[in-house]
């Protein structure tokens, strides 16, 4: 029996990589310094694994920005627009690499970055390869080989980790018409072979090919390409021990394909899909070993040793222990580095901490599992097993986690709780009477600029350098200023600005029961950006109102409507580490009920328009299409539970960004929000087509300008976009708003943009009235 890892976190124990990269980008650190930081991080990862006794240790799992971009550079898939940089003497390979990741504005050049998108269903973002018809590839960067040599020199039994050829192609995007990216497999294969030859020459024995697409829906062509490519690789390298890894889903209908590939070891994710074990054990040929992903690489909970041991035992009995590998379910990139750096008991209580394991602890778990499974049970190991049992037992019965009232409430919610009193057609009229909004009402998405001062106040307040009273006063002034400015500018539906919030999930998590936070639980989101997701460990409820104070205060300042602002249950769930001892759908329902209480309290406090943001609803979609409807059913229901406690006259908004809506438009309509605001400006209203084709019944605010850019849009271009929108959506259904919250923008650009936006709405309205008159006249 052997142990291995698919990959390690690479930001360093203290986010060293983030700091080093940012200093380097700012010109404040040398290339040498950056490289030293990077090398120290992988050295440290190797050392931890070596000391834990892991048998096969990954190399090339480290990356300065993104492992897909690394591969793009390795195979020379460098888009044309960077060729100028590539040929410049003074630029290192890493400079070219960062230019591709982040764009390049220098020396009169202005080159856009490559696109970035989510890595499967994680919150990690990769850089999307760009492909052209007949694209040629060449071995451009020898990073993979360098990393292997470095690991070997450090005395590591290193296993190079490479993104499998098919997965690499499937992750990319065709940048011109008339070809299929899989057609490029032929051209790409020789470069893979070249890399493998170099690795062989330097003494590599094992190669790990990550092929997560093998666990997803595949068409015939992809399946054929899999067979062909791995057949070719095997022909060239009869002696390599090839590991093919799959994760985030089960092999399911691809099982016979996966087990027939000429590999030596197949890795499966038993955390996501435990039920596949039996089928896999039956299907794999005697030439294939099995790597069992038993330790959760996507979550922060301690492994259940007994459960894992059952799986390991079953596999050993069927295959013989020599054909069994023990591993985390996927790369540990998606969990924080080290639980031992959580030292403040006021932040993370010891009781909750004892249920958790970060990357370093998970490495330890893998090593212990091997000892336990191979009967090598010294006193210390047995003690660890007993401790593991005890922690799990304690979690099962902890009063921190379990609240009978919350469970009972969730278990008796019915269809009726997820229904407004009347359908939208009736609500619309009642709301129109109550709210008296003009045609093309203007609003914003919630946050206003979080200036340095605002951030400073919060930091000082948290450190105890500012009293609660003083902090409150400062935020009130900022809120009032924002309300006055919106009034003066003529915006129809105001917001309070969200100055009291740091992060849209953290803010609610901190006030809800059942959530814990960490000091150092950072996970890479993209490049140097890291996030620190809250941990949902127990039954969720709302001990007290969360936003009523700020919304009511803002509403008291003005006779215009102020929109209440909440984060929706699905987004809170999606952006947290979620408890694994009950279905996600149930946790989501508990959050929904807590938000529902907040919504009704806002209504009681006189707030007549309430927005429940759900930017993450689409990214929660399961990886297999056949599972979509089950997810969408409970996700949409959770939203509706949160939104349906109010009177017909109260208007519910929702907001979503970065979404392809086409394939889930029916479900978005099923959410039954009175108004939805969406991101649209970057696609020039193209996204709106989905709503138009579908005849979306409720009101829509397609974003008329891109808040991700400091650029101030002109009134004319926004009028133009509103005209485009009216071509497909009736004017009576349209709202006018930016495409997301404004918190990352500066005040001066925000002011200019919103003034222009209000003018654009007025002009669109005048033009509309004129057109209607003309029409009536003709009639
Ligand atoms: N109300 C939030 C804001 O304006 C919405 C943020 C989001 O969509 N991600 O900041
Ligand atoms: Zn948004």
Q: Which ligand is nearest to the CA of 547?
A: 1
**Shortest-distance Cα residue to atom 4 of ligand 1:** 741
Binding-site annotation: residue ranges for L-homocysteine: 445-447, 498, 613
Q: Annotated binding site, which residues?
A: 15-18, 118, 123, 445-447, 498, 529-530, 575, 613, 619, 655, 657, 670, 679, 740
Of residues 85 and 653, the one with the higher pLDDT is: 653
pLDDT tens digits for 516-543? 999 999 999 999 999 999 999 999 999 9
Which residues have a Cβ under 8 Å from the Cβ of 152 and sit 6 or more positions away?
A: 158, 202, 203
Q: For residues 158 and 205, is the Cβ–Cβ distance under 8 A?
A: no
Contact 246, 266 (CB under 8 A): yes
Q: What is the pLDDT of residues 406-424, one digit of tens each?
A: 999 999 999 999 999 999 9
What's the confidence (pLDDT) of residue 203?
96
Residue whose Cα lies nearest atom 3 of ligand 1: it is 741
The string of DSSP letters for 521-560 reads --EEEETTEEE---EEEEEEE-SS-SSHHHHHHHHHT-SS
Instruction: Inform me whether the pLDDT recorded for 303 exceeds 80.
Output: yes
**Which atom of ligand 1 is the closest one to the Cα of 446?**
4
Q: In the predicted model, what is the mean pLDDT of residues 738-766?
A: 96
* Protein residues placing their CB within 5 Å of the ion ligand 2: 615, 657, 740
pLDDT at 444 over 80: yes
Shortest-distance atom of ligand 1 to CA 444: 4
- Give the atom of ligand 1 at the shortest distance from the alpha carbon of 743: 10
Ligand whose nearest atom lies closest to the CA of 564: 1
Query: Are 115 and 128 contacting, i.e. CB atoms less than 8 angstroms apart?
Result: yes
Q: 653, 708, 746, 777: which is the annotated catalytic residue? A: 708
- Which atom of ligand 1 is the closest one to the Cα of 656? 8
Confidence tier at 685 by pLDDT (50, 70, 90)? confident
Q: Per residue in 179-236, pLDDT tens?
A: 999 999 999 999 999 999 999 999 999 999 999 999 999 999 999 999 999 999 999 9
Ligand of minimum distance to the alpha carbon of 657? 2
CA dihedral 341, 5, 163, 627 (to 10 degrees): -80
What integer pLDDT is reported at residue 741 of this predicted model?
Answer: 96
Mean pLDDT of 129-141: 97
pTM here is 0.95
What is the residue whose two structure tokens read 């890795």? 267
Question: Residue 88 above 90 pLDDT?
Answer: no
Ligand 1 residue neighbourhood (C-beta within 6 Å): 445-447, 498, 504, 565, 613, 615, 655, 657, 740-741, 743
Confidence of residue 270 (pLDDT cuts 50, 70, 90): very high
Report how far ligand 1's centroid is from the alpha carbon of 503 (Å): 9
Domains in the chain: ranges and CATH = 2-397 (3.20.20.210), 444-500+547-571+581-777 (3.20.20.210)
Distance of CA 673 to the CA centre of its chain: 24
Backbone angles phi, psi at 494, to 5 degrees: -90, 165
Whether residue 703 contacts residue 677, with contact meaning beta carbons closer than 8 Å, is answered with: yes
Q: Over the chain, what is the mean pLDDT?
A: 96
Protein residue with least CA distance to atom 1, ligand 1 = 446
Q: Has residue 338 got a pLDDT over 90?
A: yes
708 is known as an active-site residue: yes
CA of 343 to the centre of ligand 2 (A): 34
Please give, one letter per residue, the 3-state secondary structure of 41-72.
Answer: HHHHHHHHHHHHCCCEEEECCCCCCCHHHHHH
Q: In the chain, what percentage of residues exceed pLDDT 90?
A: 91
Rounded (5°) CA angle 268-269-273: 115
């Amino acid at each position: 029996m052997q142990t291995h890892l698919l990959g390690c976190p690479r930001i360093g124990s203290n986010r060293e990589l983030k700091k080093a990269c940012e200093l380097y980008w700012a010109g404040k650190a040398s290339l040498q310094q950056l490289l030293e930081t990077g090398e120290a991080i992988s050295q440290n990862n190797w050392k931890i694994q070596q000391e834990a006794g892991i048998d096969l240790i990954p190399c090339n799992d480290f990356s300065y920005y993104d492992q897909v971009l690394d591969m793009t550079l390795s195979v020379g898939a460098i888009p044309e627009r960077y060729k100028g940089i590539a040929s410049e003497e003074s630029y290192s390979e890493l400079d070219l690499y960062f230019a591709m990741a982040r764009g390049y504005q220098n020396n009169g050049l202005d080159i856009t970055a490559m696109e970035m998108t989510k890595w499967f269903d994680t919150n990690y973002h990769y850089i999307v390869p760009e492909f052209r018809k007949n694209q040629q590839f060449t071995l451009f960067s020898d990073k993979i080989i360098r990393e292997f040599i470095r690991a070997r020199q450090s005395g590591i039994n290193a296993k190079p980790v490479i993104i499998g050829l098919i997965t690499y192609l499937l992750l990319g995007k065709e940048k011109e018409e008339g070809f299929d990216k899989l057609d490029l497999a032929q051209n790409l294969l020789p470069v893979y072979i070249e890399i493998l030859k170099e690795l062989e020459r330097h003494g590599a024995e094992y190669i790990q090919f990550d092929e997560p697409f093998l666990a997803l829906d595949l068409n015939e062509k992809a399946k054929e390409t899999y067979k062909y490519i791995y057949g070719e690789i095997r022909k060239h390298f009869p002696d390599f021990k090839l590991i093919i890894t799959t994760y985030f889903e089960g092999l399911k209908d691809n099982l016979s394909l996966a087990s027939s590939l000429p590999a030596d070891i197949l890795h499966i994710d038993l955390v996501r899909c435990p039920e596949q074990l039996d089928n896999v054990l039956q299907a794999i040929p005697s030439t294939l070993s099995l790597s069992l992903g038993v330790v959760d690489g996507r979550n922060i909970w301690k492994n259940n040793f007994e459960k894992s041991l059952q799986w390991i035992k079953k596999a050993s009995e069927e295959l013989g222990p020599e054909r069994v590998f023990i591993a985390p379910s996927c790369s540990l990139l998606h969990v924080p580095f080290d639980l031992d750096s959580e030292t403040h008991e006021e932040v993370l209580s010891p009781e909750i901490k004892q249920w958790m394991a970060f990357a370093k602890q998970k490495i330890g778990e893998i090593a212990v599992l091997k000892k336990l499974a191979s009967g090598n049970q010294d006193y210390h190991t047995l003690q660890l097993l007993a401790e593991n049992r005890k922690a799990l037992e304690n979690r099962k019965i902890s009063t921190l986690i379990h609240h009978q009232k919350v469970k009972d409430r969730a278990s008796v919610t019915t269809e009726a709780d997820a229904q407004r009193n009347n359908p939208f057609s009736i609500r619309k009229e009642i709301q129109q009477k109550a709210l008296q909004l003009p045609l093309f009402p203007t609003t914003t998405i919630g946050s206003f600029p979080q200036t340095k001062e605002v951030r400073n106040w919060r930091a000082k307040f948290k450190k105890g350098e500012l009293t609660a009273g003083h902090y409150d006063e400062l935020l009130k002034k900022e809120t009032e200023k924002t309300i006055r400015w919106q009034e003066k500018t003529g915006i129809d539906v105001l917001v309070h600005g969200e100055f009291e919030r740091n992060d849209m999930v953290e803010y609610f998590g901190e006030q809800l029961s059942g959530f814990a936070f960490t000091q150092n639980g950072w996970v890479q989101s993209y490049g140097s950006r890291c996030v620190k997701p809250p941990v949902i460990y127990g039954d969720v409820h709302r001990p007290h109102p969360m936003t009523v104070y700020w919304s009511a205060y803002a509403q008291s300042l003005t006779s215009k409507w102020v929109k209440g602002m909440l984060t929706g249950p699905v987004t809170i769930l999606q952006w947290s580490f979620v408890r694994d001892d009950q279905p996600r759908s149930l946790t989501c329902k508990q959050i929904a009920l807590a938000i529902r209480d907040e919504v009704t309290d806002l209504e009681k406090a006189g707030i007549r328009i309430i927005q429940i943001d759900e930017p993450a609803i689409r990214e929660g979609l399961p990886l297999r299409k056949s599972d979509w409807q089950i997810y969408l059913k409970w996700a949409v229901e959770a939203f509706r539970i949160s939104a349906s406690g109010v009177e017909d006259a109260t208007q519910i908004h929702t907001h979503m960004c970065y979404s392809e809506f086409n394939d889930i438009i029916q479900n978005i309509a099923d959410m039954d929000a009175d108004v939805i605001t969406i991101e649209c400006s970057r696609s020039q209203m193209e996204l709106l087509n989905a709503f138009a084709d579908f005849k979306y019944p409720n009101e829509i605010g397609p974003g008329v300008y891109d808040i991700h850019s400091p650029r101030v849009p002109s009134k004319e271009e926004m009028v133009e976009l509103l005209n485009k929108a009216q071509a497909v959506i009736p004017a009576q259904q349209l709202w006018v708003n930016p495409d997301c919250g404004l918190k990352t923008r500066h005040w001066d650009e925000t002011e200019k943009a919103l003034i222009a936006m209000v003018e654009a709405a007025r002009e669109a309205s005048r033009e509309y009235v004129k057109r209607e008159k003309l029409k009536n006249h003709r009639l």
